[in-house]
Copies of this chain bind each other. A is one copy, B any other.
Amino acid sequence: MTGVSGPVTYPRCVRLVLARCKVDYVGRLTAHLPMANRLLLIKADGSVSVHSDDRAYKPLNWMSPPCWLLEDGDVWTVQNKAGERLVITIDALIDELNHDLGAEPGLVKDGVEAHLQELLAEQVNTLGAGYSLVRREYPTAIGPVDLLVKDGDGGTVAVEVKRRGELDGVEQLTRYLELLNRDPLIAPVQGVFAAQQIKPQAKTLAEDRGIRCVTLDYDAMRGIEPDEFRLF
């Protein structure tokens, strides 16, 4: 009805609306939803998502924060700074539920790539006798190498760590190796592709390029003391 201007504070409330509506999105692409019953989920972060009763957790349409919802009668317009627009036209409200959920303590994860890398950094001799860590996230012009290590003979080795080893990871390591091997101060650099699971194509491509593949056992690694402690 009336235009809203100035700073908008979101109610600390999740808002669930069941409504018969149609939706149009114009942004990175254009998309249209014909009139039908849907769930509109408006979160305290300002996000709006339009759900049907399928597609798992993915909405049919959505707008991510930061964005702004303007309710003008039965036309709800959600817009972001980039000019993307989500226009929801309400034909009929079916039901609505609001509630303040309070603070979210946060999700705790274990077993992501960072943990693998951390464990392998502590246990580089998993890769071979006499191996030692130079550093994690070794910086290069095209991004950091997961682990830079020395083998038993003092040769340099670049290690790419993945949970799941696929083609992309091999390409990534290949780019690093190309770059590192152009530097006469550090060349020659060998490559190691280390992952919990390595897809056959990735293994083939890697070995075709002279990259050694190592399969990691996260549970075993988690149970093993760091290299330093094992010296005693």
Whether A36 contacts B95 in the complex (CB less than 8 A), given A31-B109, A54-B8, comes out as no
Q: Name the interface residues of A17-46: CB closer than 8 Å to any CB of B.
A: 18, 28-39, 41, 43-45
Interchain nearest-CB distance for A81 vs B (Å) = 15
Number of A residues with CB within 8 Å of any CB on chain B: 59
Whether B97 and A51, one on each chain, are in contact in the complex, defined by CB atoms closer than 8 angstroms, is no
B residues in contact with A102, CB < 8 Å: 36-37
Pick the most buried of A10, A35, A36, A56: most chain B CB atoms within 10 A of its CB.
A56
Interchain nearest-CB distance for A206 vs B (Å) = 14
Whether B58 and A43, one on each chain, are in contact in the complex, defined by CB atoms closer than 8 angstroms, is no
Interchain nearest-CB distance for A67 vs B (Å) = 9
Contact of A57 among B29, B37, B57, B99 (CB under 8 A): B57
Q: Give Cα A35–Cα B102 distance, bound, in whole angstroms.
A: 12
Q: Give Cα A58–Cα B41 distance, bound, in whole angstroms.
A: 11
Q: Give Cα A95–Cα B103 distance, bound, in whole angstroms.
A: 18
Interface residues of A (CB under 8 A from B): 8, 10, 12-14, 16, 18, 28-39, 41, 43-45, 47, 49, 51-62, 64-65, 94-95, 97, 99-112, 163, 168, 171
